[in-house]
Chains A and B, each alone.
Chain A
Amino acid sequence: MATYAAPVPQVAAHHVEHDPSEKGQQGWTSWITTTDHKRIGIMYMVLTFMFFCLGGVEALIMRLQLGAPNNTLVSPETYNQLFTMHGSTMVFLFVVPAFAGLANYFVPLMIGARDMAYPRLNALSFWLLLAGGIVFYASLFWNPPEAGWSSYAPLSSAIYSPSGGQDAWIYLIHLTGISSIVGAINFYATIANMRARGMSWGRLPLFIWGILTYSVLIIFAMPVIAGAVTMLLTDRHFGTHFFDPSEGGSALLWQHLFWFFGHPEVYIMVLPGFGLISEILPVFARKPIFGYKAIAASTVAIAFLGFLTWAHHMFTTPTPEVILVFVMLSSFLIAVPTGVKMLNWVATLWAGAIEFKTPLLFCIGFLALFVIGGISGVFLAVFPVDWQLNETYFVVAHIHFVLMGGSVFTIFAAIYYWYPKITGRMLDERLGKLSFHLMFWGFLATFLIQHVIGLDGMPRRVYEYDNVGHLALYNQISTVGAFILGTGVVTTIINAWRSLKHGVIAGSDPWKANTLEWFTSSPPPVNNFDVIPLVRSVEPMKDIRREVQRRSSGAVVAGGATVPAGATQVGA
């Protein structure tokens, strides 16, 4: 009990000056040896965005080729290489590691820890990712892989894909796979053991729930594809015949192994994004998330059910009907928790006071687009209908609505939301809104029409098509949309670059948000927090602000004196 007039506490960590004599913290070489989760997170974000741009260029070249029927811009060989590189890049070198990067930076901050559980392992994850990307893209100088990101056997065997490109793909999987598995172990250990005092499982921020399930899925699913690609490697070079039917192997075995990993992989790519939406919506609706328990429970349910639905990628294979029926039902089942989340998010906005800042715009874009992806997924789950839609542009539309309209839009929302925390400056709001509109409308122009292209009978992975029906017009629309979408992405990159020097200074809590990363300065000091606050609810910043207001009510602040947050015994 205070018997003196304590200084008025304020929610702000004091600025930490970097000591120039601090060994190892200066210059670009310090980034190579860093084990600080914040620096590793930044490196992840920069690298994954470089791969995003590479994958985007590959997509634009494909769309140019498809912009006219019987086009001759690229050869069939080059086109096959393009979609293989595009899919593999986006999945293994962008979406999955981008969430790892965001998680690297913000998981310790949000749970009130000073770093990850295993900082050196953390650095290893990043360098393995870089190694995987280099090995994969090195194939551009020889022969890139051509068998699609799914590399079905026997097309991917040594007979039908003799070049080293297929092996480059195998090494991509192994290197990025180890990177992900090691990172997942790190995230799980950090979340399980290093939460601030008072942060029980029921008070875990929903992004942390997303990363937790992401990590568990990686740990269970990635070893399966590691095994599969190792079997492919030995088939190709060491005389085994796992996937060779002429020697007693099975080509279907590859598909089962690949999709047993591949379906959980798509939940790996979306559950952290769901967590981001659950963090950002309440901040800009100015009210709590609607149904925290339901959202956390549905995240876990989706992660579990995701292991039961893989054969819905194999509806057209010679598979017994009882399996097709089971998988249709399990795919329907998984639509329930996903749909529930969507309704919870709209309910979060309902009766709020919605501020239309750029992070919220990307969240709205997510809601509007992901629901379309989910609905097209239901069509594909009805297996007789899938017999018409599978391997056509209907599926291409579905995957991009859930992966781009879904995951990528959440990543962009997170960038606009968290850039101030990482850099200390706000991103430009006008450029942000411009980027959003270019991306949203460009995305719709590109991919909405692709549902019709698929219904009309155009398969995917074809380098050309004949001028029948309206295919030429539909493909032209899609191509124009792709360039609008690309411009939108570039706008954000320009925004991020410019705002480093010209952005508005952000301060520690520009959004008046709810979670612990906003309790420290922007950017945070090396040790994240001076004092880690006691957590009393799932929205600790609201509790801190309430406490500060309670203690400062009636007191006069002379000259705006600021007090280091560390000096305040908040809740202790």
Chain B
Amino acid sequence: MSHLAPTLLAFFTPRSGGSPNADEINTLYKITLVIALVIFIAFEGGLGYTLWRYRARKGAVPHQTHGNTRLEVAWTLAAAVVLIGLAVVTFTKLAAIQDPSNSGPNGDRVIAESGDESGVLYASNERKLPPNGKSLNITVIGKQFIWQYVYPGSGERDGLGAPYSYEEMVVPTETTVTLDIVSQDVVHSWWIPELGGKFMAVPGYHNYTWFKIPKPGIYRGQCAALCGRGHARMIATVKAVPPAQFDAWLAYQKQELKEANAEAAVERAKLNAQTGPARVENP
């Protein structure tokens, strides 16, 4: 019985629990749900009662009225008031959902000191940063049919050479992560339900969101905009690990990338010597 209530609630509410913005959306949803249930029960109950009470019976005389202006004005105003109330509640919750908060005290030390490392300037009034301006900024690239994540840590001025991963995003716990969502081909949509809402990856545009995961865990999601035949299998996971573990992982990715690039440079030089550079660059 003790887990009946949460199970019942889970039945009626969206996923949440991985990040404060997801929890705030859940709260806003629950407030809307209460209003909705009241209206639903009142309307369906009124309809049902009307149908039962006024079914045609012998001797029943229907009341030939054309309307009641006062009643109609009253219920129009009542409907407007309910919706205005809902709008006001929404505005009070908006900031908590949209604006990233600062990283926690146990968050990633490296990020807390250096902040956004990606080195690329975005001129946009929609991209939000936490109040202290320091977040782990990850670029999410949607492609048919896999998600790629580019982390900060590029050695090059043009942003190349940054560490990246496919399908599984690794992030440190208690750290504000901001996402810069782009697409390489068609429209995709980035969505991890427990970490908040979904945001479309539209080619030619940047879209932004954030999350902050309190403790280690794995959160699953998938592309939420039709992108072709592989749409249903374009899954994504976010793996939250302790900050120290994340730093180690990131350093390892950078190292691997450097080694792989060095190996490739050696191979290219060998081929160059054999066939000449033109054949190597334009096979």
Binding site for B on A (CB under 8 A): 76-77, 80, 146-148, 152-155, 160, 245-246, 249-252, 285-294, 316-318, 320-321, 328-329, 332-333, 335-336, 339-340, 342-344, 346-347, 349-356, 364, 367-368, 371-372, 375, 378-379, 382-392, 452, 455-457, 459, 461-465
Contacts and interface: CB of A to CB of B under 8 A. Distances in A.
A465 B232 contact: yes
Contact of B44 (A77, A328, A371): A371
A457 B15 contact: yes
Given A285-B62, A384-B97, A462-B232, A367 B14 contact: no
B54 A353 contact: yes
Interface in B111-137: 125-126
B28 A292 contact: no
B3 interface: no
The 10 closest A-B pairs by CB, nearest first: A387-B197, A245-B204, A462-B232, A351-B63, A291-B67, A287-B62, A318-B207, A332-B83, A388-B14, A353-B56
B51 A251 contact: no
Given A385-B28, A461-B231, A318 B205 contact: yes
Contacts of B175: none
Contacts of B15: 388, 455-457
13 contacts: A76-B230, A80-B228, A252-B204, A292-B66, A316-B197, A332-B84, A335-B83, A349-B50, A384-B94, A385-B29, A387-B198, A459-B222, A459-B224
B29 A252 contact: no
A388 B198 CA distance: 6
Contacts of B44: 368, 371
Nearest to B227: A155
B25 to A, nearest CB: 5
A465 B22 CA distance: 23
Contact of A382 (B57, B90, B198, B202): B90
Contacts of B80: 336
Interface string B205-233: 11110000000000001111111111110
A388 B17 CA distance: 13
B186 A352 contact: no
B39 A375 contact: yes
Interface string B24-60: 1100110011001001100110110011001111001
A382 B28 contact: yes
A396 B87 CA distance: 24
Contacts of A391: 189, 191, 198, 224-225
Nearest to A317: B200
B51 A364 contact: yes
A344 B72 contact: yes
Interface in B52-98: 54-57, 60-68, 71-72, 75-76, 79-80, 83-84, 86-87, 90, 93-94, 97-98
B106 interface: no
B252 interface: no
A430 to B, nearest CB: 18
Interface of B: 11-15, 22, 24-25, 28-29, 32-33, 36, 39-40, 43-44, 46-47, 50-51, 54-57, 60-68, 71-72, 75-76, 79-80, 83-84, 86-87, 90, 93-94, 97-98, 125-126, 144, 185-187, 189, 191, 193, 196-200, 202-208, 221-232
B47 A353 contact: no
A343 B46 CA distance: 10
Contacts of B90: 328, 382-384
Nearest to B204: A245
Given A316-B199, A340-B75, A356 B231 contact: no
Nearest to B77: A336
Given A293-B67, A375-B36, A388-B29, A343 B199 contact: no
A336 B199 contact: no
Nearest to B36: A375
Nearest to B30: A385
Contacts of A155: 186-187, 226-228
Nearest to B225: A391
Contacts of A367: 47
B86 A387 contact: no
Contacts of A353: 54-57, 60-62
Given A388-B29, A455-B14, 13 more contacts: A155-B186, A332-B83, A339-B79, A343-B75, A350-B50, A351-B63, A353-B61, A354-B51, A364-B47, A387-B197, A388-B193, A459-B223, A462-B232
B199 A160 contact: no
A80 B56 contact: no
